[in-house]
Amino acid sequence: MNGEGIRIRTFRPDDWPAVWAVIEPVLRAGETYPLDPAISEADARRAWIETPAATFVATLPGSGLAGTYYIKPNQPTLGAHVCNCGYIVSETARGEGVASAMCEHSQRQAVSMGFRAMQYNLVVSTNTAAFRLWQRHGFQLVGTLPGAFRHPTAGYVDAHVMYKQLQRQGNARINQRFPG
């Protein structure tokens, strides 16, 4: 699908129950994020909402919350001009263009926040759909970490590092007030 009708907006505190319903099954599966599959709801909220610089939600008409993503500096201080994002799409909204829309939105958001590039630190090699999607959005494979992810069924699998320089609009200045 082309992603028509997808709305992306800033997370609001009353979104948390719906966000938790979307991210919990993915975190519990332990197939794509390095977080403990037994993570508590409070720790998940800290990781997804409180620690990042910003969190967003995506909705589809008539079906509520379809996905969520966060954006944060990839490293502190001297590496804070490069951001990192994490994305999760609800099981019922997969194939509807939500991940693609969130990726595009996150790149625009990153530029507006002053980031110069975006890096994905751990694209699990078994997550081939995400890998192909990030490539379609201009991310380059810059390295593969052999056996860096402990997959619950496939064992130790490779993880990819992907990177993209972001296009700055006009004379956009870099925001020097990155957290971290």
The per-residue pLDDT string of the chain (180 residues; one tens digit each, 9 = 90 and over) reads 445 789 999 999 999 999 999 999 999 999 999 999 999 999 999 999 999 999 999 999 888 899 999 999 999 999 999 999 999 999 999 999 999 999 999 999 999 999 999 999 999 999 999 999 999 999 999 999 999 999 999 999 999 999 999 986 543 443 433 333
Give domain limits for the chain.
Answer: 7-165
**CATH class of the domain comprising 7-165:** alpha beta
What lies within 8 Å, CB to CB, of 113 at 6+ separation is 53, 54, 71, 83, 175
Q: What angle do CA 59, 128, 136 make, to 5 degrees?
A: 65
Q: Is 104 exposed, middle or buried (0-12, 13-18, 19+ CB in 10 A)?
A: middle
Beta bridge partners of 58: 8, 67
